[in-house]
Structure 1
Amino acid sequence: MDLHDAVGAIGGQTRDTPELPGLDSLYAAAAAGRPSDELEDLRAVLCRLPMLGPYNAMLVEVQRPGALYVATAWTWRHEFGRHPRPGARPLVILKPFMPVEFVYDVSETDGRPLPQGVMDPFRASGPVTEEGLSAFTGRLPDEAISYRETPFGSAQAGRTQTVGSWDPGRAPRKGEIRYAITVNDSTDPATRLATLFHELGHIYCGHLAGAGAQRHQRRALSPESQEFEAEIVSWLACGRLRIDSPSGRYLHGHLQPDGTMPPVSVQAVVHALGKVEAIAGGMRSLAAMVSGPPARDEEEPSAQEMLDFGAWEP
């Protein structure tokens, strides 16, 4: 499947089923021949394009490797005083409630210089705070997830359990809890947030019984691969926020004896990362939430913020 096939498959989908078939093969084709490690390469892409949700960042990278900052033609003109050059190549991304949107990389535009700091506006403004962690975890019940912190009698950082039995094809009812996440309370807020991202990775990668089976048609995974996928989700989420986490060190502990990665799915990881960011309403809101006063719901997002489509991604 090439990019045109993938985009064609997206065009007829609804908000409830915006799958991106073939993301694993698309990414493998885009990364073929690159000397960098696959994980570092994936992280570099997602951290370089934080103004996009994870799926859109991957789509842009497939079409234009090395893209630095993308925006619609309208945004370039009206917010930055720039315009796409004649013959500039538009890049296809997903559009909420519509098939696609077209954006242009900064390298394909001319006009006023970019304002200082505009290339990296989504990072957390400081350390993760207790208030920020609480603001994020306070949204979990809306996702049918409960959260609590407790001292563990071992070095275990966290765990997730399913609650009751339910049909994975049915949306959760209001107030229904399907998953219970427990995190070790003996660590600092940033480490607890990274642990929470890991546990959410298990949920949204479809590792738990009955979770997401209809959405991903998941193959059987070994416990090692499940831990590796969940840790990649945490590592990428922390990387996009530019916050310190131990995930990078833990990832090396999951490598196979010959130094290769256990079998993982880029599509499952990117799907899970998009779901994690969507809990906060997208990357910009997540960054503001965990390191400062929670973003106000009544604030009207700018046109460029609307390129972060995390809330609509699978």
Structure 2
Amino acid sequence: MTQLSIPGTEPVGLGGAPSETPAARRTSVDRIIDTLLREMSPSEVIGQLVALRPHAVFNALLAIVQLPHATMLRTEARWDAEWGRQVRPGQHPIVLLAPFGPVELYFDVSQTEPGNRARPLPVAYESMFTMTDAPQAQQLQERIIEDAKKYGVRVVHSQVGTPLAGRIRAVNGNGAQLYQGHDCPIRWVITLAASHSPTEQLATLTHELGHLFCGHLGASEKDKWSQRHEVDPATKEFEAESVTQLVLGRLAPATALPAYSGRVLNGAATATRADWVHIAQAADRVLKPFHKLSAG
């Protein structure tokens, strides 16, 4: 875990002098940046710092280190007074510098839930991934996660803000995990938002696997899918979200997909560019652990 160095709160040594030199404090800030850049691009970091406009840039930096993709920060009292929202149990506060004191504790909108007198959030902060609960969503998710291990996929749940439902990234050479009694090298890691419901996580999981199995992240000679790096970003999203719609349509047909899905799938031009053979094959690969159950 990265240790944050907050100006004005440094450890004090003998004689009341700070025990850290300016160079040491600079190194701590550099480590913060290194942590961020392992998870996101420089443009993503800058975009998040810009989005947290009401806060000083350094405070915004502290916020996204503690909760990537934080978007709307308030103290617990202000969430209740201004928006009628309560902090969900078990949430860790985001520590920011206070104007006339050492620190103040904030919570992101993703860490709250509406109370009896909740006001509608501004459209920009509403989650595009909200879904009604699907039956046995947790068990379905676990079955897909277990089967994905044979492809070198590890799935982790992480505290992130509302705009990020999940992501997949290549991590070749990053250890192994046990699958059916054998060690399988980890080649990709899928991160799912811990604040999302099991149903929302299930949809995100299938979307990220859709990216992988459609070849958007590339492929080795041993993989059963093609390398398709050259596909444009909009078509990649369309193909991955189509996989989600096909998989959830089979596993949870009564559950409506989130608003994000409709936004991605409504482009006729994108649908024309998509490769439907790859979409169908990717959906079947995600559904493979359920094929035996539905045979006959």
Q: Please report the TM-score for the alignment, with normalisation by the length of structure 1.
A: 0.43
Q: Please report the TM-score for the alignment, with normalisation by the length of structure 2.
A: 0.45
Pair member with larger Rg: 2
